Structure 1
Amino acid sequence: MAYNEKLADRVREILSAATDAITEKKMFGGLCFMVHDKMCVGVRPDKIMVRIDPDKSEEILESATGAEPMVHGGRLMKGFIYIDEAELHTKKQLQHWIKMALDFNAIAKPSKKK
């Protein structure tokens, strides 16, 4: 599975400082960090995916450089945003997106169990 291991380590470090309720799963062609059994942050080869408040997605996409909506299987995934690695040089930049994902994770409903 191809994902950016250095970026995954940076995400892991920030998430671990915020919570101990983290699990990792390989999905969407990368590594996904689940917090409280809910999808939170994903790492791909050249970007991260954050799960944010769907009601704020459009506003964030319009104002953020290097951000794009997630499309999976031809379907727009509202509330899931990709951020290009080029916009994540500093720890502060990465923390900004992870905090947004953690804030939504606290109120997000868990996925239905299969």
Structure 2
Amino acid sequence: MGTRIGDMPVYATRREEVDATLYNLWRRARLHRLLPLRVAYPGRSQIVLIVEEDDWVVVDQNQYDLPLLAWTDFEDAGRSSLHTPVGCTLNYYHYMASSLRERMLAMIRDELEARLG
């Protein structure tokens, strides 16, 4: 877990499954040393997605990178197939963060596809 979220209180925690295609893109980005990535949310410049080696974090950069949402603890040990979803922990740090979830997953996928092209 990155230092950015290690000591932050969590509003809610959920179990999540990340699509295999997205997880595999992230894995390839790690192998090609493209991380960390910092991507601004279109139309809301204060919200930034940070894709790191160990987790994906959505932050408010106007609040000194205060986390809003984070995907952590990916359960990839012993993974035997590339087409099955990967479990992880989804931490909410703000009560409205769930409204960002789907768009952020799409942003991760789009950004990694563009960079790995």
Q: TM range, normalised to the smaller chain?
A: 0.3 to 0.5
Which structure has the highest helix share of the two?
1
**TM-score (normalizing by structure 1):** 0.36
Between 1 and 2, higher relative CO (CA 8 Å, sep ≥ 6) is seen in 2
* Structure with max Cα Rg: 2
